[in-house]
């Protein structure tokens, strides 16, 4: 009998950042559960904010994100794992493609993994700075 191994929380999170880092957007959805939740608070003017449910939403979410920004810096400083939860801390700097404005700061991401798949992905960042950078005035 063949035993199927399931990725650990740490391995799943590391694989997510590996794929995202090399621009493998089509490969990201397979790391997410069918009924996954993506939660990013912020103003509607920021195209990657909202509460999305379902694996089918994942690819569109990340496509909107990478189309909207020119990432100047994205540094993961620490990943801490506690059971099925991983907490990612880092700093970023993005330039908004449509306005040319930049914003930067710290971020935190909470990723919940069950059975080797991401069940919940929630980002915390300076949503005011993001909205201001999208303001065309």
Domain count, the chain: 1
What is the tens place of the pLDDT at every residue in 68-119?
999 999 999 999 999 999 999 999 999 999 999 999 999 999 999 999 999 9
- For the chain, how big is the Rg over CA atoms in Å? 15
Q: What does pTM read for this prediction?
A: 0.90
Mean pLDDT of 16-44: 93
Q: What average pLDDT does the structure give for the chain?
A: 92
Residue 36, domain CATH = 3.10.450.50
Instruction: Considering only the C-alpha atoms of the chain, give the largest distance between any 2 of them, rounded to a whole number of Å.
Output: 64
Handedness of CA 109, 112, 116, 117 (dihedral sign): negative
In a domain, residue 54? The reply is: yes
Q: What is the pLDDT of residue 6?
A: 85
Higher pLDDT among residues 50 and 118, named by residue: 118
């Amino acid at each position: 009998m063949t035993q199927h191994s399931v990725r650990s929380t740490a391995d799943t999170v590391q694989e997510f950042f590996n794929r995202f880092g090399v621009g493998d957007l089509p490969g990201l959805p397979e790391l997410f559960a069918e009924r996954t939740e993506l939660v990013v608070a912020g103003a509607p003017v920021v195209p990657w904010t909202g509460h999305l449910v379902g694996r089918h939403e994942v690819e569109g979410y990340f496509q909107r994100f990478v189309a909207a920004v020119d990432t100047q810096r994205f540094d993961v400083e620490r990943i801490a794992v506690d059971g099925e939860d991983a907490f990612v801390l880092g700093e970023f700097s993005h330039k908004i493609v449509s306005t040319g404005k930049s914003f930067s700061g710290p971020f935190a991401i909470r990723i919940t993994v069950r059975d080797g798949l991401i069940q919940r992905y929630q980002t915390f960042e300076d949503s005011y700075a993001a909205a201001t950078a999208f303001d065309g005035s």
